[in-house]
Chains A and B, each alone.
Chain A
Amino acid sequence: MNLRKNIVKERLYEGKTVSCFAAWGYGDADHIERLAPLKPHGIFLEGEHGDVDFNNIPNLTRACDIIGATPIVRINQNDQGVIYRTLDLGALGIVVPHVNNKEEAENVVEGGKFYPLGKRGSFTSRQGIGVPNYHDFANDQTLLIVLLEDIIAVENLDEILEVDHIDVFMVPSGDLAQSMGLPGQGNHPEVQAVVDETMRRISKKGKITGAIANKDNVQNIYDNGGRFFLCDPRPYMAEGFSKYQDFANRNVK
């Protein structure tokens, strides 16, 4: 048996864009499997703020595997044990929040990669069942994403970008705004200016960045070097429901 390919990673290194469906407001294994016709490249599973944890990661990631989408889990602490246990249970990608300096970035790689790149705990993941020499191939198929979401991380950007084997550096605006003294104002022009500039600095160094994308902002994200797009389904549901409601209000007699 061959190791399952990390489609998201493959596309990113081919220079292509990736659309990753965020399981926010729509999720859980039986629901995720029904996304198959959409052919999402990846599914983003929420374990920093949501209910994703060690008990449901195997079922969730199996649902992703079966529809050919790369399962990516956002964990809630930059802890090597949490990183590799999440991978052991079936995640092919890890998102680590609040990475603020070079040491913290190095910790992600150490926990996420086997020797010689790191020291991920030795264990055959669900993804490695029946794969000969799994440990030789696992690193290639493991995607590491870090979130630079504190203004201190922006200040330390150059040293963070020196750390190899991190695939995507994202600059989410919500926490960044908070760290700039503008809580809840991720769309504030001052915050957006920092996001845009940081993304451009990342891509200028030849690294990959990304953001939460929709049809209106995706061109701007792309222009700033963003290739990893996170898609939030909640606005789609809100729009669809209100479209039906408006129509019903006008037409149901």
Chain B
Amino acid sequence: MEIRKNRIKQRLRDGKHVIAIENLNNPDLVEQFAPNDPHCFWFEGEHFIVNPSNIGHLTRAADLINATSIVRVPRPEYQLIYHALDLGAQGVAVPHVKSKEDAELVVNASKFSPIGQRGMFTSRQGIGVENYFHKANDETFVLVFIEDLIAIENLDEILEVENIDVFFVGPGDLSQELGHIGQQNHPEVKKVVQEAINRITNKGKIAGTVANLSSYEWAMQTGAKFFLSGALDWISEGYDEFIEIAQKLDK
């Protein structure tokens, strides 16, 4: 058996954008999305219900509809990172990477030798795959979050770390440190995000950021190629539009 290809790694290699869909942390909801041919699902384990007991089910559903699965783990910790991969994630997203050492830890945990020292285990993605340990690294997507001012300060050294696919500039946590909590679209936050994206792309690396209803048109013109977008935003927009019409019927 061949190893399952990582669709978004290929898209990014081809210079294409990627939209990772969040808010659907349930296997049935993932599978229902098939007709829209999504690139990628984002399963939230830093802030939401994703954990070792549901990663297998979630990532299987994504596999079945040919979407890449990414699990955001709670923190940059060696075992947490490869455990998510072992259970079937094709990619990991690691929050609050603040230094070169943090970034190296992420790579060390997510790649087998000779790149790293990921704990030895055949992932769900490796069942029946010949020479899995020689192929896994190529199909494993790695994303780190740049979302602290200290990380922005250390960005140049973080960018020296190889084998990270996306450097994701997180406006939410940055807004907090910049004194504009919750205001992801505040000009000062946008400025910091844009500058970080510029520094990432100038080094030939791929940047990512949040694309929500209020920011996607801006975010998609920053130079970033990887976007995290919430299905709940789309539901809200559609439902609100409906309700506006329905409410008029009551008058």
Contact = CB atoms under 8 A, between A and B. Distances in A.
B35 A233 contact: no
B238 A236 contact: yes
Interface stretch (B87-95, B110-118, B140-148, B223-231): B223-231
A238 B239 CA distance: 13
Contacts of A218: 242, 245-246, 249
B220 A38 contact: no
Given A244-B211, A248-B19, A248-B220, A215 B234 contact: no
Give the residue among B19, B26, B247 with the most A Cβ atoms within 10 A: B26
B233 interface: yes
A227 B44 CA distance: 38
Contacts of A26: 23-24, 29, 231-232, 235
A244 B48 contact: no
A71 B220 CA distance: 39
A35 B236 CA distance: 8
A213 interface: yes
Contacts of A50: 28
Nearest to A251: B220
Interface string B7-28: 0000000001101010111101
Interface stretch (A13-21, A102-110, A145-153, A188-196): A13-21
Contacts, number: 120
B26 A245 contact: no
Contact of B242 (A215, A244, A245): A215
B223 A241 contact: no
Contacts of A233: 235, 238-239
B250 A17 contact: yes
B216 interface: yes
A238 B36 contact: yes
Contacts of A30: 25, 48-49
A242 interface: yes
A240 B238 contact: yes
B35 A238 contact: yes
Contact of A236 (B16, B19, B235): B235
Q: What band does the interface of chain A fall in when counting residues whose beta carbon is under 8 Å from B?
A: 35 or more
Interface residues of B, number: 46
Contact of B217 (A240, A242, A245, A247): A247
Given A26-B24, A38-B240, A229 B234 contact: no
A17 B238 contact: no
A86 B38 CA distance: 35
Contacts of A17: 246-247, 249-250
B249 A222 contact: yes
A222 B245 CA distance: 11
A251 to B, nearest CB: 5
B246 A252 contact: no
A94 interface: no
Contacts of A51: 28
Nearest to A15: B250
Contacts of A236: 234-235, 237-239
Contact of B19 (A21, A40, A237, A245): A245
Contact of A19 (B32, B232, B242): B242
Given A26-B29, A244-B211, A215 B241 contact: yes
Given A218-B242, A236-B238, A241 B19 contact: yes
A116 interface: no
A238 B33 CA distance: 8
Given A28-B29, A252-B225, 20 more contacts: A16-B250, A19-B246, A25-B29, A31-B24, A31-B29, A38-B235, A38-B240, A40-B239, A218-B242, A218-B245, A222-B249, A229-B246, A231-B239, A233-B239, A237-B231, A239-B238, A240-B234, A244-B227, A244-B229, A251-B221
23 contacts: A17-B246, A17-B250, A21-B239, A24-B32, A28-B26, A30-B25, A30-B48, A31-B24, A31-B25, A34-B23, A38-B239, A38-B240, A218-B246, A219-B245, A233-B235, A234-B32, A240-B237, A241-B36, A241-B231, A241-B234, A244-B216, A244-B227, A247-B217
Nearest 6 A-B pairs (CB), nearest first?
A240-B234, A236-B238, A252-B17, A25-B32, A248-B17, A233-B235
Interface of B: 16-17, 19, 21, 23-26, 28-29, 32-33, 35-36, 38, 48-49, 211, 213, 216-217, 220-221, 223-225, 227, 229, 231-243, 245-247, 249-250
Interface of A: 16-17, 19, 21, 24-28, 30-31, 34-35, 37-38, 40, 50-51, 213-215, 218-219, 222, 229, 231, 233-242, 244-245, 247-249, 251-253
